């Protein structure tokens, strides 16, 4: 399977029946949700977002075309029961992919990983990435919040494709857990560049512990 995505791994356990039961329990409380562009399939084409002059130093939603074979939905059982689809959005900057946290409680946590490259038009530049979170209803504060990272410091020259796999970790707090049916936290991936350039997306993956 591409991008190093694997299912749950069972270590130890006695007997076939016990191992099966333990594996079922593990799958019910932890898992992942992976979205891949065509980069990992026949053709090998990532999804491009161009950063123009007016986009410099602005947080931007990204283009992300999910390959026909590129959705790997292995979310914990509670998330699948709460929402049949793990995300909304067409994968355009106008309608970005938004991942739903519905089904998770305050005992949950997650690691998020993106796979991308950035080709700057100017030397001595940087690319920041973040997850932008929308809270569920009835929270104080109610504003969106972020977890951000400086993912690339590009000092080897312009017109070079720099690889990055930013990893962001978060816990499911009381403003983004499940508040009711259709009412839970959400998050989406964004970038901010200090220069013009070309972003090429390969994958987005959430590793979830419920």
Q: Give per-residue pLDDT as tens, 36-52.
A: 999 999 999 999 999 99
* Range 178-195 average pLDDT: 98
Give the pLDDT of residue 176.
98
User: Residue 106: inside a domain, yes or no?
Assistant: yes
Kindly report the CATH number assigned to the domain that includes residue 169.
Answer: 2.60.120.40
User: Residue 22: inside a domain, yes or no?
Assistant: no
Number of domains in the chain: 1
- pLDDT over 90, % of the chain: 86
CA distance 87 to 78: 15
12 has a pLDDT exceeding 70: no
Give the pLDDT of residue 28.
83
User: Residue 49: inside a domain, yes or no?
Assistant: yes
In sequence order, the β-bridge partners of residue 114 are: 204
Give the pLDDT of residue 7.
40
CA distance 166 to 150: 9
Q: Which domain holds residue 185?
A: 33-209
User: Residue 15: inside a domain, yes or no?
Assistant: no
What is the Cα gyration radius of the chain? 18
25 has a pLDDT exceeding 90: no
User: Residue 66: inside a domain, yes or no?
Assistant: yes
User: Residue 5: inside a domain, yes or no?
Assistant: no
pTM: 0.88
* Range 177-191 average pLDDT: 97
Q: What is the mean pLDDT of the chain?
A: 91
């Amino acid at each position: 399977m591409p991008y190093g995505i694997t299912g749950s791994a069972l270590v130890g356990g006695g007997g076939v029946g016990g191992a099966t039961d333990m594996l079922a329990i593990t799958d019910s409380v932890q898992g992942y949700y992976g979205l891949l562009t065509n980069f990992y399939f026949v053709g090998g084409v990532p999804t491009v977002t161009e950063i123009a002059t007016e986009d410099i130093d602005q947080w931007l939603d990204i283009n992300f075309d999910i390959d026909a074979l590129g959705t790997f939905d292995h979310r914990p059982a509670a998330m699948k029961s709460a929402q049949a689809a793990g995300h909304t959005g067409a994968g355009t900057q106008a309608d970005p992919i938004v991942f739903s946290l519905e089904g998770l409680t305050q005992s949950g946590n997650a690691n998020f990983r993106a796979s991308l490259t950035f080709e700057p038009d100017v030397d001595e530049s940087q690319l920041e990435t973040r997850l932008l979170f929308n809270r569920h209803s009835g929270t104080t504060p109610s504003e969106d919040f972020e977890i951000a990272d400086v993912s690339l410091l590009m000092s080897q020259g312009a017109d070079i494709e720099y690889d990055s796999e930013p990893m962001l970790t978060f816990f499911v707090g009381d403003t983004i857990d499940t508040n009711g049916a259709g009412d839970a936290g959400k998050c989406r991936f964004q970038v901010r560049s200090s220069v013009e350039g070309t972003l090429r997306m390969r994958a987005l993956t959430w590793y979830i512990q419920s």
